[in-house]
Amino acid sequence: MRSTDIRSTFLDFFQKRDHRVVPSSPLIPSDPTLLLANAGMNQFKPYFLGETTPEHPRAVSVQKCARTSDIENVGRTTRHATFFEMLGNFSFGDYFKSEAISWAWELFTRHYNLDPERLWITVYLDDEEAVRLWQRVGVPPERIQRLGMEDNYWSMGIPGPCGPSSELHYDRGPSFGREGGPAVDGERYQELWNLVFMQNLRGEGSGKDGYPILGELPARNIDTGLGLDRLAAVLQDVDTVCETDLLAPTFRLVQEMAGREYPGRDGGDDSTSFRVVAEHSRSITFLIADGVMPARDGRGYVLRRLMRRAVRHARRLGIDDLALPALTSSVIGNLGGTWPELTRQSALIRQVVTAEEEGFERTLRQGSRLLESAIGRATATISGRTAFDLHDTYGFPIDLTVDAARSAGLTVDEDEFAALLEEQRHQAHRAGQGRKGDAVARQDAYRRITAEHGPTQFVGYASTSAETRVQALLGPHGTLHAAGEGDEVEVILTRSPFYAESGGQVGDTGTVRTSGATLRVLDTRPGLDDLHVHTVRILDGEVRPGDEAEAVADADRRAATARSHSATHVLHAMLRRLLGDHAAQRGSRVEPGRLRFDFAHFSPVDTRPVQTLVNDYLLDDPEVRVWETTRAEAEAAGAVALFGEKYGQDVRIVDIGDASRELCGGTHVGHGSQAGPVHIVGEASIGTGLRRIEALTGADALRHHDHQRDILTELAAMLNVRPDQAPDRLRQRLETLAETRRHLDTLRQAELDAQAERLASLAEPVPGGWLVAQRVPSTTGADLRTLTTKILTLRDGRGVVVLGTDTDGKAALVAAAGADTGIQARDLLTEAAREVGGGAGGKGPIANAGGRDPGNLPKAITTAARRARTLLTLD
């Protein structure tokens, strides 16, 4: 059975049982506590928690998942993957164990036609109900095993919904491991499908057993996850995912590029490398398509690690040319039909992987040089610290360090390396926990408020003011009964005209008045999905939950923000028109009168035509039309949706004229011309394949213009010409200035020549040669050096020059010894330098000294002269 049939069989089966098909969410989750989407249930978390009620109580999906916590296992085993598609059916407080179990059995044995004799079941320790249900569908008791928390209790790895589970395993036969069921051998009895009976809530804590189960969820739910890869491997009778039709073309390409065949499941490190390269190519392709860009931390780092690991294993297999561009193309070719975002983003994917692989090559070269010098210095061992620095700073992999050291007959202190790595992991983990902790505590408070009162009613699309009521007050430690003058707290209102920051648009500010208090709204953010959280300062009086209030958003600021938001959409559309579809939005910041727009592109962009196009488009005064529809229709209508944004089933679409259509929850102008002029003030690279444009809009663009014109007017006045003549006049002035400078330099040289000649004529003959020791009226150290050299050339090589000067309360001395004297110039000044309160420096024939004691300069010159006489005589 081909993988496309496996997917459609699954979806059909559950659709016929009244499940609604829900598309996969992007790999970048909207849940701030989660790095990457790792299970089908992620997007349904609010339903399980009872925060939001789903439109329909049953769902079925094929979800893109990334799991990289045990990346080191991937490739080594045949069953781990960093990316996979998870088939899942879900019940939100609707059906439970009995249906979940009987449907799973029916689908497996009658539709996928798996041999019932090879299926094994595991259940959570004391889940007698599940045991009974499995027996009822016909599973013999000897093939039902009971396992504990570690295996049969599922949670997201973070606080949230969780529950006991029951898993279906497939016996792959004796060549994969020992007899005895999944309790004995997970490689032979491979888990295929996990049925989670979502009924509990887990709190904070780490490790499978280390967190508390806080209690029951509002309802009993079902969350199942069936790995498409693994099922495909069974149904297509191959050993690993790489050999299924999901990855086979890419896997074959790896072998072609390496010029040799995959040695089979048991070929040791080579087998691992073949599998890693193919498997990682798929994750890399999907991650970039969903908007992840390589970076030093976060999900960008996950991506970078995958790319580097793939490249390393490719090189290990002898693939020396760029590998990732071809490999990711083959993934797109194979899976782009099912996942159209891969095809849409193919240009970007190619650019990103090419840049990253080339960058990694440079890293490897740079690391190799450093490593060579470390090897050169080492006697027996390369320190763990050096290996760690190479790894941490240059991304240079430890196994390469070890290999290189070994070839040079050296070892690496791997224990020290491991300890340093562990320490770093610890630090990162602690930092991560802290962040998660804060976010989770706040989310909990918002969740309670939403559960009690429902979401905020946002009325700000139609109006900037509203009659409302204070629903809750929140301080740093939780809800408050009252807040008074000077306090800065968070306020939740029943209805709010304040836009809560999202989609890049800043939150509204404004004022809330109750009968007893005035509150200044400093910012508005989304708490949970539809909960608007207002950060306020109480200007006077006292406020309590329940108070009636009048809320007024700052209308001018909102209007200026709307201009920027509409301008951003038009800028996006025009960039794509000029540069191509790959120039898609990667982020934006929409503020009153100003916008920042990040997009995918690989070279600098000439902003003048972009600006002209945007302004022309807006001046045509296109109508701004806002409408709502279902997500599926929006996509069919070609609306641009943004990565990582969360959209429900119903979406809001903003059209500006014919060329711009985006899914957007923001506030906009009514007509294009209201956005006013757009003035681009900056364009720059902000990372590999990423650029940023900054622009001003409306009145701010005009003010910027005025300011520029004021500068020009002032310059023109200073130059005494009309503004349009200013550049020519300034150029002339600068030329004259340069000319004058050259002239002055010539004069200065002539003056120094004359001075050198005069000083040279003052040379006194001494035994062994001649000596010039003079004080020069205030001049610079540099001039003293020039004079010294000139005097030496004017005379012969058998003399010594000592010159001193004082400027700005400091003394400076320069001494030079002729080539035939054999004197180290510094010897001349050592003692003299002490007399002016400083030290002497300089090597060879010329030396200098400086000190803070100019009063002693004459004495110091005499001392240096005396020393010169002695040295000349000795010579």
Amino acid at 698: G
How far, in Å, CA of 596 to CA of 583, rounded?
15
Query: Minimum distance from CB of 41 to ligand SER (Å)?
Result: 5
Question: ∠ CA(618), CA(619), CA(622), 5° rounding?
Answer: 55
Nearer to ligand SER, 225 or 845 (CB): 225
Beta partners for residue 168, in sequence order: 121, 193
Cβ neighbours of residue 210 under 8 Å, at least 6 residues apart?
none
Smallest separation (angstroms) from ligand SER to the CB of 84? 10
Cα–Cα distance for residue pair 659/657, rounded to 1 Å? 6
CA–CA distance, 678 with 593 (Å, rounded to integer): 9
Question: What is the sign of the dihedral through the CA atoms of 589, 64, 354 and 639?
Answer: negative
Shortest Å, Cβ 225 to ligand SER: 2
Contact between 164 and ligand SER (CB under 6 A)? no
CA 540 to chain CA centroid, Å, is 42
For residues 484 to 513, the per-residue mask of contacts with ligand SER, x marking binding by CB under 6 A and - elsewhere, is: ------------------------------
Contact predicate 794/825, CB 8 Å: no
Strand duo 483-484 + 532-543: pairing: antiparallel
- State the nearest-atom distance from the C-beta of 67 to ligand SER, in Å: 9
Contact 864, 815 (CB under 8 A): yes
Amino acid at 554: D
Contact between 88 and ligand SER by CB under 6 A: the answer reads yes
Nearer to ligand SER, 104 or 506 (CB): 104
To the nearest whole angstrom, how small is the minimum distance from the Cβ of residue 428 to ligand SER? 24
Contacts of 295 (CB under 8 A, 6+ apart): 301, 303, 304, 687
Tell me the closest approach of the beta carbon of residue 701 to ligand SER, in angstroms.
Answer: 50
Q: Which is nearer to ligand SER, 29 or 838 (CB)?
A: 29
**Mode of pairing for the β-strands spanning 58-66 and 20-21:** parallel
Smallest separation (angstroms) from ligand SER to the CB of 171: 20
Pairwise CA distance, residues 225 & 85, whole Å:
9
Amino acid of residue 779: T
Cβ proximity to ligand SER: between 122 and 496 the closer is: 122
Q: How far is CA 780 from CA 320, 524, 608, in A?
A: 59, 61, 49
Report the alpha-carbon distance of residue 88 to residue 24 in Å, rounded. 11
d(CA 615, CA 702) in angstroms, rounded, equals: 13
Q: Which range of residues in 37-45, 530-538, 566-574, 846-854 is near ligand SER by CB under 6 A?
A: 37-45
The residue nearest ligand SER at its CB is 225
Say whether residue 161 binds ligand SER (CB under 6 A).
no
* Contact indicator for 166, 120 with CB cutoff of 8 Å: no
- Return the range that interacts with ligand SER (CB under 6 A); candidates 2-10, 36-44, 637-645, 849-857: 36-44
Name which of 14 and 602 has its Cβ closer to ligand SER.
Answer: 14
Query: Does the footprint of ligand SER cover residue 50 (CB under 6 A)?
Result: no
Q: Is 184 helix (H, G, I), strand (E, B) or coil?
A: coil
Window 224-263: residues binding ligand SER (CB under 6 A): 224-225
CB of 39 to ligand SER, least distance (A): 3
Nearest distance from C-beta of residue 113 to ligand SER, angstroms: 23
Stretch near ligand SER under the rule CB under 6 A, chosen from 38-46, 568-576, 658-666, 668-676: 38-46
State how far the Cα of 161 lies from the Cα of 784, in Å rounded to an integer: 81
Stretch that binds ligand SER, among 34-42, 232-240, 746-754, 764-772 (CB under 6 A): 34-42
Q: How many residues bind ligand SER (CB under 6 A)?
A: 10
| Residue closer to ligand SER (CB basis): 38 or 585 | 38
Q: Is 40 in the site for ligand SER (CB under 6 A)?
A: yes
On whether the CB atoms of residues 159 and 169 are closer than 8 A, the answer is no
For residue 419, the minimal CB distance to ligand SER (Å) is 34
Q: Does 43 bind ligand SER (CB under 6 A)?
A: no
- Edge to edge, the sheet with strand 690-697 lists 585-591, 594-600, 690-697, 678-687
Which CB sits closer to ligand SER, 63 or 464? 63
By the rule CB under 6 A, 756 interacts with ligand SER: no
- Nearer Cβ to ligand SER, position 45 or 563? 45
Contact predicate 287/306, CB 8 Å? yes
- Provide, for the chain, the percentages of residues in helix, strand and coil under a 3-state DSSP scheme, each rounded to the nearest 5: 45, 25, 30
- Tallying the residues shown for the chain, one arrives at 875
Residue 199 binds ligand SER (CB under 6 A): no
Give yes or no for residue 196 binding ligand SER (CB under 6 A): yes
Nearer to ligand SER, 196 or 331 (CB): 196
Binding mask 277-316 toward ligand SER (x if CB under 6 A, else -) reads ----------------------------------------
Q: Which is nearer to ligand SER, 86 or 653 (CB)?
A: 86
Give least dist CB 678 to ligand SER, A: 46
Q: How far is the CB of 66 from ligand SER (least distance, A)?
A: 12
Q: What one-character-per-residue DSSP string does 276-326 give? A: HHHHHHHHHHHHHHTT----SSHHHHHHHHHHHHHHHHHHHTT--S--HHH
Non-local (6+) Cβ contacts of 774 within 8 A are: 759, 762, 802, 803, 804, 861
Tokens representing 532? 């608007």
Report if residue 41 touches ligand SER, rule: CB under 6 A: yes
Q: Judge whether 695 and 567 are in contact, CB under 8 Å.
A: yes
User: Min. distance of Cβ 339 from ligand SER in angstroms?
Assistant: 19
Structural contact between residues 817 and 842, judged by C-beta atoms closer than 8 angstroms: no
150 vs 606 by CB, closer to ligand SER: 150
Q: Least distance (Å) from ligand SER to the CB of residue 111?
A: 19
- Which of residues 22, 35, 39, 813 is near ligand SER by CB under 6 A? 39
Q: How far is the CB of 357 from ligand SER (least distance, A)?
A: 32
The Cβ-side half-sphere exposure at 121, using a 13 Å CA radius, reads 28
**Residue among 17 and 344 whose Cβ is closer to ligand SER:** 17
Distance from C-alpha of 468 to C-alpha of 498, rounded to nearest angstrom: 12
Taking the complex as a whole, how short is the minimal distance between the CB of residue 302 and ligand SER, in angstroms? 18
Short-list 144, 127, 126, CA closest to 135: 144
List the x/- string, 212-231, binding to ligand SER by CB under 6 A: -----------xxx------
Q: Does 154 bind ligand SER (CB under 6 A)?
A: yes
Q: Is 843 exposed, middle or buried (0-12, 13-18, 19+ CB in 10 A)?
A: exposed
DSSP strand E in 544-623: where?
Answer: 548-553, 585-591, 594-600
Residue 646 CB, nearest approach to ligand SER (Å): 19
Compare residues 162 and 868 and give the one whose CB is closer to ligand SER.
162
Q: In angstroms, give the least distance from the CB of 64 to ligand SER.
A: 13
Q: What whole-number distance in Å separates Cα of residue 224 and Cα of residue 196?
A: 6
Residue 194 touches ligand SER, criterion: CB under 6 A: yes
Radius of gyration of the chain (CA): 37
For ligand SER, which stretch binds (CB under 6 A), given 39-47, 132-140, 610-618, 658-666? Answer: 39-47
Q: Rule CB under 6 A: say whether 672 interacts with ligand SER.
A: no
Q: CB nearer to ligand SER: give 148 or 263.
A: 148
Q: Which is nearer to ligand SER, 40 or 294 (CB)?
A: 40
Nearer to ligand SER, 42 or 667 (CB): 42
Q: Which residues bind ligand SER (CB under 6 A)?
A: 39-41, 88, 154, 194, 196, 223-225
